[in-house]
Structure 1
């Protein structure tokens, strides 16, 4: 895979089970969930955050899918279109996975060798919104604009050969509720 690694942070969801809170601004261990995500993507040459702008310690590009709340596929592809660099590998990370680290992404890159990409799973083996994918392969399966809104990520990625990477410890956990955040 090409050496240029760009990443998309998905941070524009409704957070319905968290009373509509802006997850990117929610704090875990004294830092926002977005700062945790940006730290996990420290190896990325460029990062686009799909969500409302919030202060960050790292320069990133903020954008929103149109119409808003189009789901992860619309957000991912909007982020992809907002990149200034041409990625060889595209990382994707949901903002609500604060236990993902740079080491997680290094393992995902390693697991992706010989595949179209690799995604982290949760403890039950379900694919999470943390992964890397060959940008050219993603572009090859990209739907037209009308097909993106509300599309499930599994549908977009169905034709790709993706390695599944089991979590180490709790890195595959996400924060969908206030209880999830407390339990981290």
Structure 2
């Protein structure tokens, strides 16, 4: 019998970036196959005990908590920590996902949690070996390396990820693809 998935994970969805390469369009509202990117990210987090979206509040089919980093547009580390602070419960782990990865599913998240069992977490890796903005991390590990409020604004995510013992999980199919530009959106199905 394989390792068991840790019970009680929460999801933090990062949906509050500038989308500079998309001319400032709200990424969360972009539709792919009839569903917004935010709705798809929330669908992928269906097994979570709670979902926090770091971004502007919009109507959703599932109850979620919306929050914003202060000051706004602080980047993924500020978004992650703001999302952590907004959690109502105390989960064992947190799954962090960018809202612009339309092919991430609940199966993807379960694979990460399974792979990260017994370690501090797991991160999705694309075919090029690049770590994606989709990972799970034990809350205790996150809280141990938490930068102070001033240091988190504008901080890069990769140095923070390197501080944890994360299993790299190869993406299957298109899970690793994100939408950062109009070209990415155009080429989504290719």
* Superposition TM-score, scaled by structure 1 size: 0.97
Which residue number in structure 1 is paired with residue 87 of structure 2?
Answer: 83
Q: Is the aligned partner of 1:133 residue 2:172?
A: no
Unmatched runs of 5 consecutive residues or more in structure 2: none
Unmatched runs of 5 consecutive residues or more in structure 1: none
**Per-residue deviation at 1:171?**
0.6
Which residue number in structure 2 is paired with residue 16 of structure 1?
Answer: 20
Distance 1:122 1:75 in 2: 22
Superimposed CA distance per residue, residues 51-77 of structure 1 (whole angstroms, 9 cap, x where no aligned partner):
011121110000000111100000000
**Per-residue deviation at 1:2?**
5.1
Distance 1:171 1:158 in 2: 22
Which residue number in structure 1 is paired with residue 62 of structure 2?
Answer: 58
**Per-residue deviation at 1:40?**
0.8
Which residue number in structure 1 is paired with residue 159 of structure 2?
Answer: 155
CA RMSD after TM alignment: 1.0
Matches within 5 A, 1:26-105: 26-105=30-109
Distance 1:45 1:81 in 2: 15
SS in 2 for 1:81: helix
Superimposed CA distance per residue, residues 90-136 of structure 1 (whole angstroms, 9 cap, x where no aligned partner):
00000000100000011001110121100111221100011110011
**Per-residue deviation at 1:26?**
0.8
Comparing 113-122 and 43-52, the one that deviates more: 113-122
Which residue number in structure 2 is paired with residue 124 of structure 1?
Answer: 128
Distance 2:30 2:13 in 1: 15
Distance 1:31 1:85 in 2: 28
Which residue number in structure 2 is paired with residue 178 of structure 1?
Answer: 182
**Per-residue deviation at 1:30?**
0.7
Q: Is the 8 A contact 1:24 1:54 kept in 2?
A: no
SS in 1 for 2:136: strand
Paired residues, number: 184
Distance 1:177 1:171 in 2: 17
SS in 1 for 2:132: strand
